[in-house]
């Protein structure tokens, strides 16, 4: 069985090792690379406003590490943020926050929709300002939801995301392998940005695109794939998953194989 691991290089190892132990041949092909944006006067102003902010949503381990580095640079003390409720997108992000002594809430579904379903969004009448530690292009849906509910959004753009140059070389090798031995590949889709990068790589290789079974994180991203499939008249298989834990991915593949 073949699996394409598209997670960023620093987050791919656990999934690769779990699947390899279960007999998968895993190709690491990261579709996103995260690079810190420089500290700026705008970020300085945003950090100062955290003193009167009720909640911080942190979208990735990278956002944690850059955000905490820039917090120190801003002159705002971590102890001045003890009043804040932290929300982490995923267990790995939560563990990264724990390394800084910060406890956080984690949605069951590791997506924007999952975060909005947390009871705290319904139960806190004092929620007037929320900060997002994120990368360019991420979490637009949730930020718009907050704005629609008259919650002020502090938009911390901490890093940029792009497709690694090395992935084009790996993709070329994948195409060669697929041409010689066409077969079905399994692949996780964890963000719209990574999906768009995959579509771009596959632009002239639709047979590979359609020979993958995609495990899609959350309902909104599932609808994105559904829309793209219908619009371009592709024919591929895709299924929803609730999180990206290696065991969750393995169990979902096992379940789907039984149904085939």
Domains of the chain are 2-32+165-259 (3.40.50.10090), 35-161 (3.40.50.10090)
The yes-or-no verdict on residue 113 having pLDDT over 70 is: no
- First vs last C-alpha separation in the chain: 14
Which residue in this structure is represented by tokens 């979902």? 252
- Alpha-carbon gap, residue 260 to 255, rounded angstroms: 9
- Alpha-carbon gap, residue 2 to 24, rounded angstroms: 6
Q: Pick the more confident residue, 9 or 134.
A: 134
Half-sphere exposure of 220 (CA within 13 A, CB side): 15
Report the pLDDT averaged over residues 39-56. 96
- Alpha-carbon gap, residue 15 to 162, rounded angstroms: 21
Q: Are 93 and 244 in contact (CB under 8 A)?
A: no
- Alpha-carbon gap, residue 210 to 220, rounded angstroms: 21
Tell me the whole-structure pTM to 2 decimals.
0.81
Go through the chain and tell me how many residues it has. Answer: 260
- Alpha-carbon gap, residue 243 to 240, rounded angstroms: 9
- Alpha-carbon gap, residue 122 to 26, rounded angstroms: 42
- Alpha-carbon gap, residue 95 to 22, rounded angstroms: 26
What φ, ψ does residue 92 adopt, rounded to 5°?
-65, -40
Most confident of 148-162, 198-212, 231-245: 198-212
Within 10 angstroms of residue 62's Cβ, the number of other Cβ atoms is 24
Q: For the chain, how big is the Rg over CA atoms in Å?
A: 19
Q: Read off the pLDDT of residues 86-103 as tens digits, 9 standing for 90 and up.
A: 999 888 899 999 999 999
- Mean pLDDT (the chain) is 90
């Amino acid at each position: 069985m073949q699996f394409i691991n598209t997670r960023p290089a620093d987050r791919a190892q656990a999934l690769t090792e779990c699947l390899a132990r279960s007999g998968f041949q895993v190709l690491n092909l990261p579709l996103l690379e995260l690079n810190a944006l420089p500290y700026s006067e705008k970020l300085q102003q945003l950090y100062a406003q955290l003193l009167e902010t009720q909640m911080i949503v942190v979208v990735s381990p990278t956002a944690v590490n850059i955000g905490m580095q820039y917090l120190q640079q801003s002159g705002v003390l971590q102890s001045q943020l003890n009043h804040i409720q932290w929300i982490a997108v995923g267990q790995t992000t939560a563990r990264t926050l724990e390394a800084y002594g910060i406890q956080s809430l984690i949605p069951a579904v590791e997506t924007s929709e999952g975060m909005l379903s947390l009871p705290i969004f319904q139960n806190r009448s004092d929620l007037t300002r929320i900060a997002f530690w994120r990368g360019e292009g991420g979490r637009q849906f949730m930020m718009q939801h907050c704005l629609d509910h008259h919650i002020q959004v502090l938009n911390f753009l901490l890093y940029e995301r792009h497709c690694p140059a090395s992935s084009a070389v790996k993709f070329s090798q994948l195409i060669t392998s697929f041409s010689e031995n066409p077969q079905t590949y399994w692949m996780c889709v964890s963000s719209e940005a990574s999906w768009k990068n995959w579509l771009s790589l596959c632009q002239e290789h639709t047979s590979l695109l359609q020979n993958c079974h995609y495990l899609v994180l959350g309902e909104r991203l599932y609808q994105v794939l559904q829309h793209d499939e219908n619009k371009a008249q592709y024919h591929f298989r895709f299924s929803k998953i609730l999180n990206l834990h290696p065991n969750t991915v393995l169990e979902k593949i096992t379940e789907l194989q039984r149904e085939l």
